[in-house]
Amino acid sequence: MALNPHAYVSILMIILRPLQRGFLIVLTSLLLASCAGMAPRPGAGPSTAEQAQRLAAQGYAEQAAKMYMSLADQARSPERENLQLKAVSAALTPQTSDLAHLYLSKIDEKRLTPAQLIDKRLLEAELELLDHHPLAALNVIPQVSPNQPADTQTRILDTTARAQAMAQQVLAAVQTRIELEKRLPADQLEADRKAIWKLLAGATAQDLLNWTAQTPSGELRGWLELAYISKTAPPQLSALQKQLALWAQENPGHPASPLITGELQAQWKELETYPQRIAVLLPLSGKYQHVSEAVLDGILAAYYRSNPQNSKPAIQIYDTGSDPSNAVTKYRQAIQDGADFVIGPLDRDAVDSLAAMGTLDVPVLSLNYASQGDTSGSPISNLYQFGLMPEDEARQVAERASIEGHDKAVVLVPQTEWGQRLAQAFTQRFEALGGSVLATEYYDPNSADYSRQIRRAFNIDQSRTRYAQLVATIHVAPKFEPRRRQDIDMVFIAGAPRNARLLRPQIKFHHAIGLPVYATSHAYAGVPDPQADRDLNGLEFCDIPWVLPGQNAGLHALHQKLDRLLPRADTQFPRLVALGVDAYDVIPYLKRLAKQNYEHFSGLTGNLHMDPQHRLHRELQWAHFVGGRPKLAGAAQEQPAQDEEDNAPIPTDRSNGQP
């Protein structure tokens, strides 16, 4: 403000003297409070570093950064560089990252001291993390050295751990946090241990098993073993306590005890409240009959697979038919019959009918998602939602591509409502992560020729038009080869296996050899077919663990057991069978997933977690086609696979899924 707030008060005392004193006191108090809350304007007086620091603390990032930079312009080295670094640090917010990039580019590294250079590298890494480029961040983070101050070592390790976690390098992030703990004061140890546990909670049981086998005895192995127990222990407290006792004997004095072990025991007490009678609501007649039978096969396979116990729940099956409103009728009938938990219904309209009831007397795990779902409001009471939502897969493609450094995409999807949903989900997530979708083209899924859409997306027609204009101008036809636009660094496709088998070679034909192509799981039929899928070589996709090779002996044994129990179950709709298995197995863990958003359930359909609206989401695994067969990809940092047809480098980890 131009005048001192107290000067305003003096003026008001003269003008408002006739007013009652009480009213005046209230008015002046409000004025002083409003003045105190206003951000000082740069230029309203001599700027100081303390003012800039206060602005940053109050959330005025842009003003603070500009004030620091203004001070830097008037200072000499090394104070000039210190202020420049502070300007960049103040601008490290999603809203002011462009300003941070600008100010970072103005710093002359030749003038930096060794300590200042480390600060600059860490700021560069923080900016890369803001832009969701963790691999780029890891490339600039300096190494820890014993000669560095303790706080510098701590900053380096903390930044490294966060970058590794964002890059999905879970094991490396855990190792870094264990190293970080050696340098933390006692009052920060609990927070670091909880961060380690959150990382491990997001891993799959198979990941933990593999890592444990590769890790010698020690603190890291103790963390991995405890996390594996949390993923695989039966939902009975006594079973957990027995495993924890053995773990404690082998890991005396481990930092996870009693903080994490106590938390697990509290969670397992809640798991013991298992339903006694489960109702299954599925449209076993009508257009969804065959789909429903596959889901039911999965539910029954999980039921028969579980160890026989006196407390095993009874299951009663209800046919909801083709009329979505039947779901409400059957739900009420199931409650009258004594059901204390319901799996289903399957089709979205039926889920909407149940959701419209507002409050459900008995918990429901629907096998689809309500269309009315409010992603920001409170969950519908007693309604948990689960399904094979294709939008989840499109978003995972966007995240994977961003992690691997891609930020310019072309999208090719079918001209259907389903295709539009996937294009929208991919675009929204990709752009939220700082990427740009350069073109989106919709193809006819019943056609076999997509060259028109590909040429348009790649700007090849424009290349030909420019050539024709040149010939018309110079009246000579020089040698010409059409070129696609060169700013594309990835392609996202969605479609059924037939569409993917046609799209992949046509994309390469149109001057895109070596360009990474990502897909959802719909590109893979779910059953190996090397002859038909040779055209998919090099394609990167994500899919559920149940249909990908190279998982673990446990899944192989489960496939064999399922084939014996229900011979027809796992052929036409393998992903729906897996949905049924997970729908039964996840029941005792629903409250745990709802309570802790970082908790995951390792299922056949993926690594499941729950959002605040009680909607289960799947984190899928990545694979690529080699010799017409899907090959499970490693971590994000795995060396690129080679497309055996054109020998062009193809990034190794991408996405897949199925309806």
40: pLDDT strictly greater than 90 = no
Question: pTM, whole model, 2 decimals?
Answer: 0.79
**More confidently predicted of 273 and 226:** 226
Q: Could you give the dihedral angle defined by the CA atoms of residues 328, 332, 335 and 339, in that order, rounded to the nearest 10 degrees?
A: -30
What are the phi and psi torsion angles at 479 (to 5°)?
Answer: -60, 135
Query: How large is the average pLDDT for residues 46-70?
Result: 89
Non-local (6+) Cβ contacts of 380 within 8 A are: 355, 358, 359, 360, 370, 613, 614
658 vs 387: CA distance, rounded Å: 11
* % of residues, the chain, pLDDT over 90: 62
Residue burial 113-144, b: 16+ Cβ < 10 Å; e: rest = eeebebbbbbbbbbbbbbbbbbbbbbebbbeb
Query: How large is the average pLDDT for residues 268-278?
Result: 83
509-546 pLDDT per residue, tens: 876 678 899 999 999 998 889 999 999 999 999 999 99
504: pLDDT strictly greater than 50 = yes
Structural contact between residues 280 and 218, judged by C-beta atoms closer than 8 angstroms: no
Ranges 215-219, 272-276, 384-388: which has the least confidence = 272-276
624: pLDDT strictly greater than 90 = yes
Q: Count of alpha carbons within 13 Å of 43, Cβ hemisphere only?
A: 2
529 vs 214: CA distance, rounded Å: 33
Most confident of 22-31, 470-479, 649-658: 470-479
* % of residues, the chain, pLDDT over 70: 81
534 vs 628: CA distance, rounded Å: 4
Please give the full DSSP string across 339-400, using - where no structure is assigned. -SEEE---SHHHHHHHHTTSEEEEEEEESS--TT--SSSPPPEEEEE----HHHHHHHHHHH
Q: How confident is the model at residue 322 (pLDDT cuts 50, 70, 90)?
A: confident
Q: Which amino acid is at 507?
A: I
Average pLDDT of the chain to the nearest whole number: 83
Closest among 219, 213, 241 to 229, alpha carbons compared: 241
447: pLDDT strictly greater than 80 = yes
46 by DSSP, 3-state: which?
A: coil
30: pLDDT strictly greater than 50 = no
* pLDDT in the model for residue 208: 92
**More confidently predicted of 35 and 189:** 189
Helix (H) or strand (E) holding 626: strand 621-626
332: pLDDT strictly greater than 60 = yes
* pLDDT in the model for residue 380: 87
111 by DSSP, 3-state: which?
A: helix
* pLDDT in the model for residue 23: 39
411 vs 443: CA distance, rounded Å: 11
| Total number of residues shown for the chain | 659
Query: How large is the average pLDDT for residues 632-647?
Result: 46
**More confidently predicted of 428 and 373:** 428
Token readout for 138 is 């890891």
Pairing outcome for strands 490-493 and 408-414: parallel
**More confidently predicted of 336 and 14:** 336
93 by DSSP, 3-state: which?
A: coil
**More confidently predicted of 13 and 478:** 478
Closest among 593, 577, 561 to 235, alpha carbons compared: 593
144 by DSSP, 3-state: which?
A: coil
Query: How large is the average pLDDT for residues 119-138?
Result: 94
493 vs 423: CA distance, rounded Å: 9
Beta bridge partners of 414: 443
1: pLDDT strictly greater than 60 = no
Q: How confident is the model at residue 166 (pLDDT cuts 50, 70, 90)?
A: very high
Helix (H) or strand (E) holding 616: strand 616-619
391: pLDDT strictly greater than 80 = yes
Q: Could you give the dihedral angle defined by the CA atoms of residues 567, 572, 576 and 577, in that order, rounded to the nearest 10 degrees?
A: 10
* pLDDT in the model for residue 326: 92
341: pLDDT strictly greater than 90 = yes
* pLDDT in the model for residue 359: 85
